[in-house]
Structures are given as structure tokens and as C-alpha cells.
């Protein structure tokens, strides 16, 4: 396989497939993680290391979106954590930027 054919193969087959897989992972993360995390945590500041591990490759805006979704879900059930610690939770996980008010 020469250089041109390899480049064409990457462009026509590999890159579109990678894009599809990234979108699938994003959608699954958005649908599954907030629900599962809201169910398993005792409060918003519980299990910060696990949240860091899961969210470390995610852009800060996407991280904020997931945390807000989780907080909204958790606030629907009184036995779960509430939205009141969202700023502290975000700060503990991201350790860089502060969460702005919605």
C-alpha cells in the first residue's frame, strides 16, 4: 500500500469510524454517568477520586454539564445529594477553574 492509498484509507475509513465512536461514547457518557453516579454516591463530595478518574479526559464545559445533570437527577430524590455543593464538587474534581452559576 503506497502513501497516497494509506492516506486515503485513513481519511475514508479510520477517521469517520473514530468520529462515530467518539460520538457514541459521548452520548453514552451523557446518558449513563449522571444516573449511575447519582445512585452510587452518598453526597456530592463522595468518591471524588473516582469522578476525577472518569472525568479527566473531558473538557471542563462538558464536565460541568455532566455534574449539573447528575445534581439535577440527585435532587429529584431526597435520599440523594442536592445541588448545593455543585461548586465544591466541580472544584474538587477539576482542581483548576471555578464553576460559574447557571
pLDDT in tens, 74-101: 876 544 445 667 788 888 888 754 444 4
User: How many distinct structural domains can be found in the chain?
Assistant: 1
- What backbone phi and psi angles, to 5 degrees, belong to 77? -120, 125
Cell numbers linked to 43: 453526597
In this structure, is residue 100 part of a structural domain? Answer: no
Task: Give pLDDT, residue 11.
Answer: 95
In a domain, 102, yes or no: no
Interatomic CA distance for residues 28 and 22, integer angstroms: 10
- CB distance 71 to 81 below 8 Å: yes
Which residues constitute the domain of residue 35?
Answer: 3-94
Domain assignment present for 76: yes
Instruction: Give the pLDDT score at 83.
Output: 60
Q: Which pLDDT does position 89 carry in this prediction?
A: 83
Q: Is the Cβ–Cβ distance between 40 and 84 less than 8 Å?
A: no
Contacts (Cβ under 8 Å, ≥6 apart) of 34:
66, 69, 70, 72, 73
pTM of the model: 0.69
Amino acid at each position: 500500500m503506497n502513501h497516497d492509498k494509506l492516506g486515503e484509507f485513513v481519511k475514508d475509513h479510520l477517521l469517520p469510524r473514530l468520529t462515530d465512536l467518539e460520538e457514541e461514547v459521548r452520548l453514552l457518557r451523557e446518558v449513563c454517568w449522571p444516573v449511575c453516579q447519582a445512585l452510587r454516591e452518598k453526597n456530592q463530595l463522595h468518591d471524588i477520586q473516582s469522578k476525577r478518574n472518569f472525568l479527566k479526559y473531558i473538557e471542563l464545559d462538558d464536565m460541568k454539564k455532566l455534574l449539573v445533570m447528575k445534581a439535577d437527577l440527585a435532587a429529584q430524590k431526597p435520599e440523594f445529594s442536592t445541588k448545593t455543593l455543585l461548586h465544591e464538587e466541580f472544584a474538587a474534581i477539576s482542581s483548576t477553574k471555578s464553576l460559574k452559576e447557571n
